Chains A and B, each alone.
Chain A
Amino acid sequence: MSLFEREPVETSPKVSDEVRKTTCYMCACRCGINVHLRDNKVRYIEGNRDHPVNKGVLCAKGSAGIMQHYSPARLRKPLKRVGPRGKGEFQEIEWDEALGLATSWLKDIRESDPKRLAFFTGRDQSQSLTGFWAQAYGTPNYAAHGGFCSVNMAAAGIYTMGGAFWEFGQPDWERSKMFMIFGVAEDHDSNPIKMGLSRLKERGAKIVGVNPVRTGYNAIADEWVGITPGTDGLFILALIHELLRAGKVDLDYLIRYTNAPWLVIRDPDANDHGLFARNEDGEALVWDRASNSCVSHKQSGVKPSLKGEVTLPDGRKAVPSFELLAEKYLDGAYAPDAVTEQTGVPAAQIKRLAAELARTAFEEEIVIEQPWTDMKGERHEQMIGRPVAFHAMRGISAHSNGFQTCRSLHLLQILLGSIECPGGFRFKPPYPKPMEAHPKPHAEYAANSPLPGPHLGYPRGPEDLAINEDGSCKRIDKAFSWDAPMSVHGMMHMVISNAYAGDPYPVDVLFMYMANMSWNSSMNSRGVMEMLEAKDDNGEYVIPKIIYSDAYSSEMVAYADLVLPDTTYLERHDCISLLDRPICEPDAAADSIRWPVVEPDRDVRGFQSVMIDLGARLGLPGFVNEDGSAKFSDYADYIVNHERKPGIGPLSGWRGENADEAGRGKPNPDQLKRYIENGGFWIEHIPAEAQYFKHANAGYQDWAVGMGFYDAPQPVIFQLYLEPLRKFQLTAEGKADQKPPEHLKARIRDCFDPLPIWYAPFEGEQIDEAEYPLHAITQRPAAMYHSWGSQNAWLRQIHGTNPMYVPGEVCDAQGLEDGDWAWVISHHGRIKVPVMRMDAVNAKTLWTWNAIGKRGGAWGLSSDAPEAKKGFLLNHLIHELLPAKGDGMRWSNSDPITGQAAWYDLRVRVEKAEPGDELSEPRVEAQKGPAQPGPSELRYGKEWTK
């Protein structure tokens, strides 16, 4: 070959020595990944084509896994704090010392007063273990992060129809003809939503994005509804108003599958006014038009009435709940013209969208020639579908009216007959699961004893609250109290402020996992830092001991007294369990594992294995054998051998002695091996006759029992009128044994309406509109997940700073131009931010990317990193309490029903800042680590290139 001849390109170079298949953890989506290894290093990560969640694709975060795995921010060894809290000064210690210390702290408390441990986990995908551990320990104080994430969505879904979006169900991407997506930027289910939107577009379906900001999914929507934050519920109820006025609701569906015909007692002076009339067996009654009598709703062959006052067997009056529903939403208050100003949505657009929904649902109905049998034994020759589907997430739920807003959306879906039908919304097993199939909350603690049941559950009424006889709260976060009776995911965002205040009581140990509470996961971040640093008169920390587990050098690590270093996601065992938050598809049950595809090169341990070790050291039931020895060697051992009840364990696949049982079966010692051979997951398809109408499909219910989701069929009757809410209302009306505190009565009466309502977000009601005329919200970027992403050498090049996007009209009014700096001011604080103009946004809404701002010195970044200099958090503007309203009290800035943190209620004004140092404010002094910044240059993969 001459000097002037090119060498042929090597078109078949070696790719890797081995491919190991596991589950991604770069966000909460839980996609399957193929990890290519070469020379014992990660060469390449791609999506697993066979995997039910992502079917081969992989997002930006997942593709940047290499940089996460090799991040210089990784913790290397257990740490004991040596400097003051918050400084980030630590001494490395051995695991024996770390676990000994943790055990001694925890043992003392368990033997004396277990509630003095507050154990809360953040982005935890092992809640079935952490919850089980906390229950065995016996503290009432356990929850994960749902309370500040999206509990309104989950709770409204379970209470209304037995499941919500994402893990609970998804649109029928293959059959929907009209799709509306509310309040979703990039969020949970990120790859499936992108795949689904693409499928909808291929088929010519119409996509409507409802979001104050027209980015991402909304940017490709056919139509964008640039709604004002916090008014989605009003917009939805106006759609319902239009549908009802036009008679465009699916009456057959409502009669068959909902409580629309159930009779509501009309006896204003009685203690059961507004509850359902029931027979001796507790079964709700309906009025049968055929026999002109009250019969159980369970009886087959009846023709229930949907309107008209009837006389109950006891002589009292009652009406079908549907009549109450119709009266409520036909009211002029919900007319499109009446809601336009508040929602920012033109009346003509609301009317047209209602008409398009109705046309698509009822005139483009889908028929699948698939016979099935319902729970009353009636055989249906076909599956009839209403091809309108919806999806929603945090944007509608993180408001003080979020629970009722999420309920409103479900009401709309159900009125259109589009739940669990072809083309509509489809549940994923083990959902739907009605409220009655979920546990009640438990908080009855005693020294040296496990809690009698799981911490988190679904209260049926005021009798299930976690309060003492004197009305004080049993839980540190005040979950399941009058403050937030249906706080089914707990209220992690209140733990630190309550522990600091000693209200309802102080704690000794705060134990947290993967929750960046001193930074982007708290409201009022500065205040939280001060609470964690606060000392009492004796010079002791007010929150005496903090144990924290994380894989990375986060802001929260700096506040821990004892740091338990976790592994990266490629170094660990995990199970994505049906006992927890599974990865099922509408057509199939599925679960999956993580396993150590690379071995740690540091002295770190998977957090779950550490919990199992601590459980054994503490002698917790379920974690020790009868002789007191450890029951499980590590998490992998637990995943295979733990049984929640006989035959039911963390993983459903390859159970039994012959590894041929699904769902139920004895532990199989080779189970993990079988998962690994199958690509890290297990999937079992639902029979064809059971794939739709799961809530009322006998075939599905039998299959579900066989799989072990529950021990008897759990059909769901959709609860349009939600009786548990009415039970709380009755307490406020003085018609119940339980008495809410006087100051909460009005709120419970007004907000706990058994039919979905809209009320103005609390913060907006308590500030002066003229002083804070604007809204400010965050969106999660598609290429970054929470604080995890910004240590990532590749992702931080995409999102290293976060401008405040300001509507053009506001820019013009304030004289703001791109590159200017501005003060954004709320009732609670002020932040200085860089400005960028934007027009494709609601005219009253500022927005920025979520969790880009970093504390200097955290996450293994240098202290002059742009994330620390220019990046900022809105959290400094948001307080966990509402502004004072002169009643001597500070009300919680959360949903009064579920306690969900009302992040998106924030109201602000914006003012141009004087030219200056171009640094965001507030400034927080840099922490010292513990991790130190990485190299000044990367040439990743150099050894594999020529």
Chain B
Amino acid sequence: MTTLPAQTDKSLGLVIDLDVCVGCHACVVNCKEWNTGGYGAPLSDQNPYGADPVGSWLNRIHTFEVDASQGGGCSGSEAQILADGKDTRVVHFPKSCLHCEDAPCVTVCPTGASYKRSEDGIVLVNEDWCIGCGLCAWSCPYGAREMDAAEGVMKKCTLCVDRIYNENLPEEDREPACVRTCPANARHFGDFSDPNSNVSVMVAERGGMDLMPEQGTKPVNKYLPPRPKTSPVQSAPSDLVALAEPEAKGFLGWLDAALEKMG
């Protein structure tokens, strides 16, 4: 069994904005390309050119449909329900390690390979000590760890620990690869222990949420729910024509008056 630090100096993690994630997989693939040549063993691929290609990834996107008019975790769009009577929606949900404060993957590790760093809260696997037993993956309620089939070690998001402090990179690039590459700006990196950090402010303003809080893992990463869908513009009439001048004299009559007004 491995112990968790009583507290961490920083609490680094990600904010993932479900309002703008279009499910494009940029973060997924850029993560793979950085990390396959980065921290620890490569992220191998089995049968890459054959039947059932499968490999290790540290970040994946799940796509599912919800009926938002019935709740389903999204606030329904008034406009949509007005139009269709329902609001069936596709949700794109990126998922990687959430670097939990109370990480069961750490406490379950029999060798001490899986640990949470006291300086910044990143949960890492020391691959030299990993015996590939897989207990951590079983204990993770989020399914965020993947055993590498070629190397026999557990792979997981490192929050790009080899980027965020890397003095060989320009300062502006010292952020996780997924954050740097996201075209929709749906991913943000920062220190949640600082209430004034970019991520803390965002979570406060947008009602950032824990994933599956009932699991008691206290995830550091937060998800921003879709913004309430813009309602029909309240001040716009639902029927333009009913309120407009032309109806009385017809459009061409209005045109005369309008041109007259223009001078």
Contact = CB atoms under 8 A, between A and B. Distances in A.
A60 B25 contact: yes
B184 interface: yes
A206 interface: yes
B6 to A, nearest CB: 17
A819 B248 CA distance: 58
Nearest to A57: B183
Interface stretch (A135-143, A192-200, A427-435): A192-200
Interface residues of B, number: 102
B167 A12 contact: yes
Nearest to B22: A216
Nearest to B168: A15
Contact of A6 (B26, B83, B115, B172): B115
A794 B32 contact: yes
Please indicate which of the listed interface residues B124, B164, B172, B241 has the most CB atoms of chain A within 10 Å of its own CB. B241
A575 interface: no
Interface string B182-215: 1111100000000000000000000000000000
Interface string A346-357: 101101101110
A860 B48 CA distance: 11
Contacts of B90: 214-215, 218-219, 840
Interface residues of A, number: 116
A323 interface: yes
Given A352-B232, A941-B38, A11 B161 contact: yes
A113 B252 CA distance: 59
Contact of B181 (A13, A63, A215, A247): A63
Please indicate which of the listed interface residues B49, B65, B129, B180 has the most CB atoms of chain A within 10 Å of its own CB. B49
Nearest to A796: B53
Nearest to B86: A839
A123 to B, nearest CB: 20
Contacts of B44: 937-939
A46 B180 contact: yes
Given A245-B246, A355-B240, A10 B22 contact: no
A939 B42 contact: yes
Nearest to A73: B49
Interface in B1-37: 19-26, 28-30, 32-34, 36-37
Contacts of A216: 22-24
Given A214-B90, A245-B244, A865-B51, A13 B162 contact: yes
A940 B24 contact: no
A888 B132 CA distance: 71
Given A64-B29, A214-B88, A220-B226, A933 B20 contact: no
Contacts of B30: 46, 58, 60, 63
Contacts of A303: 259, 263
A326 B88 contact: no
B82 A937 contact: no
A186 B23 CA distance: 11
B45 A937 contact: yes
Contacts, number: 321
Nearest to B51: A864
Contacts of B34: 44
Contacts of B233: 206, 355-356, 359-360
B200 to A, nearest CB: 18
Contact of B48 (A201, A793, A946): A793
A66 B33 contact: yes
B59 to A, nearest CB: 11
Please indicate which of the listed interface residues A197, A244, A840 has the most CB atoms of chain B within 10 Å of its own CB. A840
A794 B43 CA distance: 11
Contacts of B20: 197-198, 201, 220
B77 interface: yes
A783 interface: yes
Given A245-B247, A937-B46, A223 B41 contact: no
A60 B33 contact: no
A731 to B, nearest CB: 32
A824 to B, nearest CB: 21
Given A13-B39, A933-B49, A941-B42, 18 more contacts: A9-B162, A47-B180, A57-B183, A58-B183, A63-B26, A198-B184, A220-B20, A242-B241, A345-B83, A346-B83, A348-B238, A359-B233, A783-B29, A839-B65, A937-B44, A938-B45, A940-B36, A941-B37
Interface of B: 19-26, 28-30, 32-34, 36-55, 57, 65, 67, 77, 79-80, 82-84, 88-92, 112, 115, 117, 124, 126, 128-129, 150-151, 161-162, 164-169, 172-173, 177, 180-186, 226-227, 229-230, 232-233, 235-241, 243-247, 251-252, 254-256, 258-259, 262-263
7 contacts: A11-B165, A59-B24, A198-B183, A223-B77, A307-B256, A359-B233, A937-B150
Interface of A: 4, 6-7, 9-15, 38, 43-47, 49, 54, 56-64, 66, 72, 186, 190-191, 194-195, 197-198, 201-202, 204, 206-207, 214-220, 222-226, 242-248, 251-252, 289, 303, 305-307, 323, 326, 330, 345-346, 348-349, 351-352, 354-356, 358-360, 363, 782-783, 791, 793-798, 800, 838-840, 860-862, 864-866, 869, 933-942, 944-946
